[in-house]
Amino acid sequence: MTMHDNRLPQQLNSDMQAPMDDGDVIDIRALLTTLWRRKWVIVNVTVFFTVLALLILVQLTPRYTANALMAIESRKNSTVDLEAVLSGMSTDVAAIKTEIDVLKSRRLASKLVDQLNLIKDPEFNSELVTKRSLLSFLNPFHYLPQAWSDAILGKKIDTRSEQQKAEATKSKVVDIVLSKLSVSNPARSYSMQLSFESTDPVKAARIVNALADLYLTDQLEVKFEATQRANDWLNVRVAELRNNVREAEQAAQRYREKNQLIRSSANGTVAEQQLAQINSQLVDARTDLARAEARRDQAIATELSGGANSALLEVLQSSLIQRLKEQQSEVQRKRAELATRYGPKHPKMINITAELSNIANKIETEIERIVAGVKGEAEIAAIRVKSLESNLQKLKTENFEASRALVRMRELEREAQAGRVLLETFMARFKETTSQNGLQQADARIISRADVPTEPSFPKKKLTLILVIFASAGLGVGLVFLLEALDNGYRTFDQVRRDLSLRGLGMIPLIGNTKLKGVGPEEYLRNKPTSSFAEAHRNIHAALMFSGLEDDAKKILAVTSSVPGEGKSTASLCMAQILGRTGLKVLIIEGDMRRPVLRHRMNLDPRKYASINDILDPKEETSADLDMYTDELSGVRYLWADKHDDPQSLFNSGKFKQFLEQARQQFDLVLIDTPPVMAVSDVLVISKQVDAILFAVQWEKTPRSIVKSAMEQLRNTNARVAGVVLTQVDVKRHQGYGYGDQGYYYGTKSGYYTN
């Protein structure tokens, strides 16, 4: 192999200068890979919490929940109508909520405690618990008298009476019962679900059923008490109303008798009827008077005109005059017949003439009588009108007085009538409530009584374990991503390329003490030239050789890191040995004069072998015959360093530059092991004299921020960094992460290596 084959990169790969921009695309494969490489975190977290939950579940006392279902009656079936007295329960949301509050009330719970004698149950009365825990025997107060313990602990003496203590105990039991009781209303229904939790399933069912029965009985008692109170109140009220009605009617009757307000019918009083009758008679009398006066005036007018009164209506309607006129007509007919046979002097003619004269006198006399009667009728009518007017005026005066009295009378009657109506209403309600005493029904009914539960409601072991498994797995996943977020080291070349814009040259596996067996990495490399450790250094050299560089070879290469302990010195020594065995002339220079280690690692005698100090800063006692140490197996030349107060002055001197030019002519490759960038600035001075820098980063350990700061310092000095080498890679862990890079094959393809 010639020197031309060992070319070093002149500049960074242009396509590696900028990190790849993935945008907002989520890499599902990367997420799954992250979960896979930290799968044991998820597994351990899941197993830990699952086992912990299982231990807790085993220790928990199982509790059983009994459920009963009740329905509120939305339809009422009353034997009598008591809606106005005792209405049924409403079925709106507020009413149902009220009934739930009743079921959870202390009053009902207190009845339940008394009925089932729960005060004697240790589950609800902690004072009855005699079981002592193991820790109680470790309590020193356990062995002292109670009075002494109370005095030491500062407990006050209980001065309550036995009754007060019993009430306090019962109150605590009621509190515990209510805490275990649950009442709910399913959505869009008139039902109520009662649930009670207890350590005994039989007890839980018994308590729920007893509470439901107590609730129904309580409803009946409340209704009965309400009915009884209504009966008592109505009874008193009816008696009061009866006395009020009696007094009102008696007052009305006394006033009626005092003012003589006698009713003849439903139309009014007697005075009112008399006034109406007199008024009607007066109207008729005035009409008769007008009619009589009209006839009288007609008769007088006829007499004054000298005419006959035969045309008067009374004359025309007189039956006597009509008969006389009929006789007169008959006599006149006979006279006419006699006149044809006899003369005026004939006795028959004289007799019939006398008869006619007699009839005419009778008619005249009757007419005069009728006319006189007409005149007398007018006078009588006038007298009657005056009499009626006088009576009417008298009755009006009397009626005015009666009307004033009648106003008060009607008021008294209205009061009496209102009292009678109210009395009748209350008597009807009293009869209804009295008849309802034995017909009360509860406003709810039991749909389903509680059965004895067969499975505990707490703890739900299967469900809890499933939830714990999923929750712990989720916690493990979260912990994985948290660890990834907190992971501040480099494991892959993708991370290096993304953060530093540099390409990865190779990974150097970590060699454990079991493999080293007390020797250094250089000895291990010498003994195992076909190991994965040796192949890693060959890969670094290959990455440097075939990097598409220019023709002029870069022979001088500085190896540095961010901080001490990242394995840069080991990498320099091992790579020098690998390349030396290939026949290349390699010189390795220790550039760290602050903390030199090469002499001790190679066990060199400073009196026999020259150092870089001898070349750059020769001393008088330094022998000119000293030569550099040469490894017999690989032929690598070593130039160790000794401590110096100002190494930068040496590396910045012309001697160092001249020495490197000579080394360039004599050697195929010169490796300079420099101090860490963040420790001292010596590497910044050396970077001006070398062709490129090989940057070592400890796998997973070195914080990214420190590496970035170191790279920023190198870039500020325009240092040419060839690439990054990840050192001390834990192959097994790296293989578990599933990155699929060199580290993965170092661990899986063991058939290619002899480790």
Tens-place pLDDT, residues 579-602: 898 889 999 999 999 899 998 888
Are 633 and 746 part of one and the same domain?
yes
**How many other β-carbons are positioned within 10 Å of the β-carbon of residue 146?**
9
- Residue 169 maps to a domain: yes
Instruction: Find the mean pLDDT for residues 396-400.
Output: 72
Cβ proximity of 22 and 685 under 8 Å: no
- Give CA–CA dist 268/526, Å, rounded: 147
**How many other β-carbons are positioned within 10 Å of the β-carbon of residue 147?**
10
- Give CA–CA dist 235/243, Å, rounded: 13
pLDDT digits (tens, 9 = 90+) for 340-386: 887 788 887 888 888 888 888 887 777 777 777 777 777 887 888 88
* CA dihedral of residues 216, 217, 223, 228 (deg, nearest 10): 170
pLDDT band at 79, cuts 50/70/90? very low
Which range (65-74, 303-312, 560-569, 613-622) has the least confidence? Answer: 303-312
* Nearest by Cα to 409 from 546, 253, 534, 562: 253
- The answer to whether residue 324 scores a pLDDT higher than 70 is yes
Range of 727's domain?
3-18+501-752
Q: Which alpha helices (DSSP H) does 582-640 contain, by range?
A: 598-602, 612-616
**How many other β-carbons are positioned within 10 Å of the β-carbon of residue 479?**
16
- Residue 478 maps to a domain: no
- Residue 460 maps to a domain: no
Q: Which of 381, 412, 435 is the last residue of a domain?
A: 435
- Give CA–CA dist 457/461, Å, rounded: 10
Are 279 and 205 part of one and the same domain?
no
Rg (CA), the chain: 69
Identify the residue with better confidence: 496 or 617. Answer: 496
Q: What is the Cβ-side half-sphere exposure of residue 248, based on CA atoms within 13 angstroms?
A: 20
Are 116 and 147 part of one and the same domain?
yes
DSSP character for 628?
Answer: -
Q: Which of 435, 453, 482 is the last residue of a domain?
A: 435
- Give CA–CA dist 226/216, Å, rounded: 15
- Residue 258 maps to a domain: no
Largest CA distance in the chain: 234
How far lies 236's CA from each of 231, 248, 422, 474, 604, in Å?
9, 18, 14, 75, 128
Report the DSSP pairing between strands 64-72 and 191-198. antiparallel
How far lies 667's CA from each of 321, 574, 578, 580, 661, in Å?
192, 17, 15, 11, 10
Give the pLDDT score at 13.
39
Element spanning 240, H or E:
helix 201-258
**How many other β-carbons are positioned within 10 Å of the β-carbon of residue 743?**
28
DSSP character for 135?
Answer: G
- Residue 107 maps to a domain: yes
How far lies 469's CA from each of 57, 457, 514, 556, 647, in Å?
14, 20, 38, 58, 61
- Phi first, then psi, for residue 90 (nearest 5°) are -75, 160
Are 679 and 531 part of one and the same domain?
yes
Burial (CB < 10 A; 0-12, 13-18, 19+), residue 111, is middle
- Residue 489 maps to a domain: no
pLDDT digits (tens, 9 = 90+) for 235-263: 888 888 888 888 888 887 887 777 766 66
Number of domains, the chain? 3
Are 14 and 57 part of one and the same domain?
no
Cβ proximity of 459 and 274 under 8 Å: no
Element spanning 506, H or E:
strand 504-509
Query: For the whole model, what pTM was predicted?
Result: 0.52
Q: Which of 435, 450, 478 is the last residue of a domain?
A: 435
- Give CA–CA dist 276/370, Å, rounded: 34
| Side chain identity, residue 640 | W
Handedness of CA 388, 389, 390, 393 (dihedral sign): positive
Q: What tokens appear for 499 in the block?
A: 């953060």
Identify the residue with better confidence: 16 or 734. Answer: 734
Three-state SS for 561? strand
Report the DSSP pairing between strands 444-448 and 629-630. unpaired
- Give every CB contact of residue 424 below 8 A, 6+ residues apart in sequence: none
Are 215 and 282 part of one and the same domain?
no
- Give CA–CA dist 562/192, Å, rounded: 73
User: For the chain, how far is it from start to end, CA to CA, in angstroms?
Assistant: 27
Cβ proximity of 88 and 72 under 8 Å: no
Three-state SS for 489? coil
Q: What tokens appear for 459 in the block?
A: 């703890």
Which range (55-64, 202-211, 510-519, 713-722) has the least confidence? Answer: 510-519
- Give CA–CA dist 697/727, Å, rounded: 6
- Residue 444 maps to a domain: no
- Give every CB contact of residue 11 below 8 A, 6+ residues apart in sequence: 720
Which range (40-44, 266-270, 405-409) has the least confidence? Answer: 266-270
Are 290 and 184 part of one and the same domain?
no
pLDDT digits (tens, 9 = 90+) for 596-628: 999 888 888 888 898 998 888 876 455 556 789
- Residue 668 maps to a domain: yes
How far lies 208's CA from each of 135, 194, 656, in Å?
36, 7, 98
Cβ proximity of 237 and 426 under 8 Å: yes
Are 580 and 622 part of one and the same domain?
yes
Go through the chain and tell me how many residues it has: 755
* Nearest by Cα to 318 from 378, 360, 366, 379: 366
| Side chain identity, residue 107 | R
Are 539 and 652 part of one and the same domain?
yes
- Phi first, then psi, for residue 724 (nearest 5°) are -120, 140
pLDDT band at 411, cuts 50/70/90? confident
Three-state SS for 445? strand
Cβ proximity of 650 and 644 under 8 Å: yes
* Nearest by Cα to 90 from 107, 76, 79: 76
Burial (CB < 10 A; 0-12, 13-18, 19+), residue 634, is buried
**How many other β-carbons are positioned within 10 Å of the β-carbon of residue 163?**
8
pLDDT digits (tens, 9 = 90+) for 167-199: 999 999 999 999 999 999 988 888 999 999 999
CATH classification at residue 554? 3.40.50.300
Are 226 and 293 part of one and the same domain?
no
**How many other β-carbons are positioned within 10 Å of the β-carbon of residue 469?**
15
Which range (118-132, 204-218, 390-404, 466-480) has the least confidence? Answer: 390-404
Average pLDDT for the chain: 81
pLDDT band at 435, cuts 50/70/90? low
Give the pLDDT score at 515.
82
- Phi first, then psi, for residue 721 (nearest 5°) are -95, 120
Cβ proximity of 561 and 703 under 8 Å: no
- Phi first, then psi, for residue 558 (nearest 5°) are -95, 140
Are 206 and 324 part of one and the same domain?
no
Q: Which residue has the tokens 């197993």?
A: 47
Are 93 and 215 part of one and the same domain?
yes
Give the pLDDT score at 262.
62
